[in-house]
Each structure stands twice: as C-alpha cells, then as structure tokens.
C-alpha cells in the first residue's frame, strides 16, 4: 500500500497522519514511509506542523492535572531526575552552601533514592566519572574495555540512528560504511 502514491497522499496529506502512524498501520519501518514520500516528491511537514493541535485542551496529557497529579510537581520522582536533584539539595543544606557546578553528589551505595546524608559524598566531577566508570568495568582515559574511543562513539551514533527508526542500509550510507560494519557497531557491547 505504501508504494501507492494516492494511498500516501490520502493518509499523509489529507488525513495528516505521521510517518510513524502510517508505518504502524502497515507494519513497516517509519523510514520506509519517509523514503517513499521523498520518492513521490510529496512536501513533508515540519515538526511544528505535524504536531499542530495534538496537545491542545483535552488532548494534552496534563489537561486538568494539578498538584500531585501534575507531571511537573516537585515531588514527582520523574521530575526529580531519579533522586539526583534531591540529593544535591540535601547535601547543600547539610553543608550550608550551594554546590559548585564541578561538584557532584555521589551515592555511595549506588541507590539514587537513598538520600541519607551518610550515603552521600561530594566529589569533583572528574573523580565522580572515574568512580562510576570503574564500577561499570570501564577505564577512564583513552580506552574502554579494549575498544578505541572512536569505535565507542560510532557505536553510540549507530544505536541512536536505529532508535530513531532508520534502516541499516540508510545508516551505512549516512556514515559512509558497509552494512556489515553497521551491524558490528550495532551489536557492540559498550
């Protein structure tokens, strides 16, 4: 169906469905729909046009939610960045001063919700990074578990492209690599 120009015009232009919604309907990758829109030379909507009217009034997930029900309520764990901000505030109160930007609060037992003062420690950000990487079995410096830093960076980029719904062949074109190389980076354990 997505190979039919009239079908895509109906769904994308008249019904104003997104590439993702059309792809879900047809059980294909959203990147496939996007490529066919380009092939048929259809004018693509920018992000503000595609989201226009979707989160207004009762369509907005935060509509009518106040206080504890609101997603921006200060005690909401998701809003608190999993306890990190709370720990920082608690340490500032304990020390009686604001923490500097380069000062991080380290959770000794690695439980970000355990904000007891005896579990918190103020560290310089580089020292905090070293401790965190060491606990994950990585080394601070140029090498991470035997992989070169550039390979790690490329692997992260490839994984991000896959998360965005791009297909392997397209990622290979973008990164000027072979599909086999992309497959290797995708499966690389970081």
User: Could you state, in order of their start, the residue ranges of all structural domains in the chain?
Assistant: 5-49, 89-136, 147-187
> Does the pLDDT at position 12 exceed 60?
yes
Q: Is the pLDDT of residue 43 over 80?
A: yes
Q: Dihedral, CA atoms, 89, 91, 92, 98, nearest 10 degrees?
A: -100
In this structure, the number of other CB atoms found within 10 A of the CB of residue 43 comes to 7
**What confidence category does residue 153 fall into, taking pLDDT thresholds of 50, 70 and 90?**
confident
Q: What average pLDDT does range 145-150 have in this prediction?
A: 59
pLDDT of residue 144: 43
Cβ-contact 76, 95 below 8 angstroms: no
Q: How confident is the model at residue 132 (pLDDT cuts 50, 70, 90)?
A: confident
pLDDT, mean of residues 48-64: 68
- For the segment 162-167, the average pLDDT, to the nearest whole number, is 88
Report in angstroms the alpha-carbon separations of 82 from 41, 71, 111, 155, 182: 45, 14, 10, 26, 33
pLDDT of residue 42: 86
Average pLDDT, the chain: 77
So what's the pLDDT on residue 142?
Answer: 43
Q: What is the pLDDT of residue 71?
A: 57
Return the pLDDT at 70: 64
Residue showing tokens 């392997």 = 168
Q: What is the mean pLDDT of residues 63-68?
A: 70
Which residues sit opposite 104 in a β-bridge?
123
Q: Tell me the C-alpha distance between 112 and 115, whole Å.
A: 7
In this prediction, residues 134-148 reach a mean pLDDT of 52
């Amino acid at each position: 169906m997505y190979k039919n120009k009239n079908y895509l015009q109906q769904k994308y232009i008249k019904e104003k469905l997104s590439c993702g919604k059309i792809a879900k309907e047809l059980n294909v990758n959203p990147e496939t729909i996007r490529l066919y829109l380009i092939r048929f030379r259809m004018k693509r909507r920018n992000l503000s046009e595609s989201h226009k009217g979707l989160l207004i009034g009762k369509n907005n997930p935060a509509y009518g939610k106040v206080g504890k029900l609101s997603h921006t309520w200060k005690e909401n764990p998701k809003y608190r960045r999993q306890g990190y901000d709370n720990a920082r505030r608690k340490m500032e109160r304990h020390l009686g001063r604001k923490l500097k930007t380069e000062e991080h609060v380290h959770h000794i037992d690695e439980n970000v919700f355990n904000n007891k003062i005896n579990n918190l420690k103020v560290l310089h950000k580089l020292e905090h990074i070293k401790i965190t990487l060491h606990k994950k079995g990585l080394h601070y410096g140029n090498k991470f578990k035997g992989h070169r830093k550039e390979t790690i960076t490329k692997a992260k980029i490839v994984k991000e492209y896959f998360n965005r719904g791009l297909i392997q062949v397209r990622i290979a074109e973008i990164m000027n690599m072979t599909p086999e190389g992309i497959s290797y980076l995708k499966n690389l354990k970081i």
